[in-house]
Amino acid sequence: MSRRRSIAVNTRFLIKDKLEGIGLFTAESLRRIVQAHPEVDFYFLFDRPYSNEFVFGSNVTPVVLFPPARHPLLWYWWFEISVRRWLNKHKPDLFLSADGYACLGTTVPQVAVMHDLSFEHFKEHVPFLSAQYYKYFMPRFAHKATRIATVSEFSKNDIVKHYQIDAAKIDVVYNGAKEVYEPVSDEVKQRVKSKLTEGKEYFIYVGSIHPRKNVKNLLLAFEQFKQQTNSDFKLLIVGRKAWHFGEVEETHANMKFRSDVIFAGHVPPQQLGEVVASAYAMIYVSLFEGFGIPIIEAMSCRVPVITSNVTSMPEAAGEAALLVNPASVSEITGAMEKLYRDKELRKALIEKGKEQLKKFGWNLTAEKLWQCCEKVLNRISD
């Protein structure tokens, strides 16, 4: 009888009601992997008290390791003292780290999921201590990991280029969209618009309000759109205010049509699905993305997309979106106006979105991530 295999997982981003990017990837992929592999023992390593909703099966043992790792010094403590001690004591077959960090002080084989290297491209948008930590440790994590998973071909090439990693060591594991993102009825659309935008059509942006997300240029483009079309459209911005919010605040304050911009803040997932599905179009003109989940979330809702022609976004969008230079306010405005005036184009993009979505899904994500882990596990058993 063969020995049961064991996998330890860094689950510090599984925080109840706060699942964003990395946390969402971790939850959706692990739920499927755990349930598909009852023959494997999983140890979920948390950095604080956890919610039982993240214990995805009877083959999961939750472990809380001190301290809560939300600061560069505490990142080091958690990974290089607490996690290292646990790994070296229990010796699992694999350590899977879904946020790209590795443990340098162990010989346990590791898979690191590196979502993107945005901090390498926009150092000025990262707090100083965090930037220093990333600069020193991330190349070391990339070389320490037995294998790396990342969320796009763009990110794979970026890791190879910046850290001189062999491309054969990296697997592309695309993101998916949650089940709450689906088309809704006209009645639901009308109810959402009545509640949020006085019954008016709206463009939507979903994501943190952060310089890299280019919300300033989105506001300027919307201002031009309003001036050129004289429409009653609104712009709905959904997401938390992040570091360096002041620039967006100042831009908004100087807008003639600022009353047509609605900052909705955080919206719960179930409600957010209906809000996205009720929009006229998703505008996601970020300066840099490792993938760009809102692009496929909008497609899942049968909502057309305007997104950036840089980094991973053309890869996520395929031919199912209008691509623009995110540095060009006039290009963003032109795409908004094109969708506003050309209803047939809007329908065509929605249809193309259905095809593009066949490339993505959390079941595929889990399958590809497990295949990445298996390459390491099988090498060990060999």
Query: pLDDT, tens digit, for every residue of 239-288?
Result: 987 766 788 999 999 999 999 999 999 898 889 999 999 999 999 999 99
Domains of the chain, by residue range, sit at 5-176+361-381, 186-359
Domains 5-176+361-381 and 186-359 share a fold: yes
Looking at the domain 186-359, which fold is it?
Answer: Rossmann fold (3.40.50)
User: Is the CATH code 3.40.50.2000 the one for domain 5-176+361-381?
Assistant: yes
In the chain, what are the helix, strand and coil shares in percent, each to the nearest 5?
50, 15, 35
Q: What pLDDT, on a 0 to 100 scale, did the predictor assign at position 244?
A: 64
pLDDT at 347: 97
Q: Say if residues 171 and 148 touch (Cβ distance below 8 Å).
A: yes
Residue type, 31: R
Q: Please name the residue ranges forming H helices in the chain.
A: 21-36, 72-77, 84-90, 118-121, 128-144, 153-163, 186-196, 215-229, 246-253, 269-277, 293-300, 313-317, 329-341, 343-356, 362-381
Q: Is residue 57 scored above 50 in pLDDT?
A: yes
pLDDT of residue 382: 46
Q: Please state, rounded to an integer, the average pLDDT across all residues of the chain.
A: 95
Q: What is the pTM of this model?
A: 0.93
Q: Is the pLDDT score of 372 beyond 70?
A: yes
Q: Supply the pLDDT for residue 271.
A: 94
Whether pLDDT at 177 is above 80: yes
pLDDT digits (tens, 9 = 90+) for 90-147: 999 999 999 999 999 999 999 999 999 999 999 888 889 999 999 999 999 999 999 9
Answer for the pair 279, 189: CB distance below 8 angstroms, yes or no: no
Q: What is the pLDDT of residue 179?
A: 87
CA distance 338 to 139: 43
Average pLDDT over residues 38-51: 97
Mean pLDDT value of segment 201-229: 96
Give pLDDT, residue 380.
Answer: 66
pLDDT of residue 243: 61
The pLDDT assigned to 125 comes to 82
